[in-house]
Chains A and B, each alone.
Chain A
Amino acid sequence: MNAERFETLTSAYGADLRRWPAAERDAAVGFVAADKVRAERILFEARQVDAALDASLAPRISHALRDAILAGAPQPRPERKPFFDFGRWVVAGAALACACVVGVLAGAGAVQRITADAQADALIADVADLPVDEQEILG
């Protein structure tokens, strides 16, 4: 970096190299190291302006302003349950399937019992119709 460029950037960004474009900083540090007297002379006036600018204090923030801003902020959102909760549907489905299986088994058992009773009743009725000697054989 030459003196002219150093002066141009100082007049724009001031004496604090942290405010300079990042790409120029290393070269600026190099210029200062190479020609300290000249660099200091260029930086002197810029330091005065920087110091004056820094004397302007930031405005105070009132509680009223802060409260007004916070009042308009997004509120916590209630947790929304998804319409299709896979886990809950699986549990409900499994329970329904179990109930169906139990129902089918119970029904099948009942039908079997009723059939056996009917067969027994029919056999007794048939036996009652037989002659006495045949009843003795069967009996």
Chain B
Amino acid sequence: MSRAADPDEDLIRRVARGEPAAVQALVARKLPRLLALSRRLLGDQAEAEDVAQEAFLRAWKQAPKWVPGAARFDTWLHRVTLNLCYDRLRRKREVTMAEPPDRPDPGPAPDRGLEVAELGAQVDRALQALPERQREAVVLCHYQELSNIDAAELMGVSVEALESLLSRGRRALRAALAELAPTTGKAVRGG
């Protein structure tokens, strides 16, 4: 079965030639996704920015060597970002096994209501409380909107195992969110 055409193929070719417009377009297209992925997996903005920067450095090096057809560029970039996150999570675990890390409170953003901001922060905390593999599965499928096949491939598990991780992750999230303050619960129910 042949893979679908890579929507980034032409862009990568132009990036390899150093076309400034293509470089800008790739950053605009991928940076929000990569930063969101690493922020949600690591739970730390500064570390997420470091990961995003490193992932792009690798993308710049890879662009001239990119061979279309083998894998989609977006999947490759997710793989790189995931691996960088794994490295950091592993180091974190080794350093902070005895003492739980202090998570910086992102605080309410100025352009949204306090209630929504608080809900978002609580969801982020609930996500961070999930076991790593469940969090990865939820982040890849819900936020990154990867297909189940791509997500399973990136995580190195079968689709059935991915579905199991997703179910357990979502169940745990629901349980965590059910314990939230009434205002938050109202916001969740209100959609």
Contact = CB atoms under 8 A, between A and B. Distances in A.
A25 to B, nearest CB: 12
Contacts of A48: 174, 177, 188-189
A8 B163 contact: yes
Interface in B56-73: 56-57, 60, 63-64
A58 B32 CA distance: 8
B183 interface: no
B84 interface: no
B40 A70 contact: no
Contacts of B126: 52
B163 A65 contact: no
A46 B188 CA distance: 11
B142 interface: yes
Interface string B38-59: 0110000100110011001100
Contact of B124 (A45, A50, A56, A77): A56
Interface stretch (B19-27, B75-83, B85-93, B96-104): B19-27
Nearest to B145: A19
Interface in B94-153: 109, 112, 116, 119-120, 123-124, 126-127, 138, 141-143, 145, 147-149
Interface in A44-58: 45-53, 55-58
A11 B120 contact: no
Interface residues of A, number: 37
A76 B112 CA distance: 41
Interface residues of B, number: 58
A53 B125 CA distance: 11
Contacts, number: 126
A55 B188 contact: yes
A14 B170 contact: yes
A65 B53 contact: yes
Contacts of A62: 49
Given A69-B27, A73-B23, A56 B167 contact: no
B112 to A, nearest CB: 8
A49 B168 CA distance: 12
Given A59-B48, A73-B23, A22 B16 contact: no
A13 interface: yes
Contact of A55 (B48, B57, B116, B141): B116
Nearest to B170: A49
6 closest pairs, A vs B, by CB?
A: A12-B166, A12-B163, A76-B18, A74-B18, A11-B167, A51-B191
22 contacts: A11-B166, A12-B170, A13-B166, A48-B177, A48-B188, A49-B177, A52-B126, A53-B143, A55-B116, A56-B40, A57-B120, A58-B143, A59-B36, A59-B39, A59-B48, A61-B35, A65-B49, A65-B52, A73-B18, A73-B56, A76-B17, A76-B20
Interface of A: 8-9, 11-14, 19, 21-22, 45-53, 55-62, 65-66, 68-70, 72-77
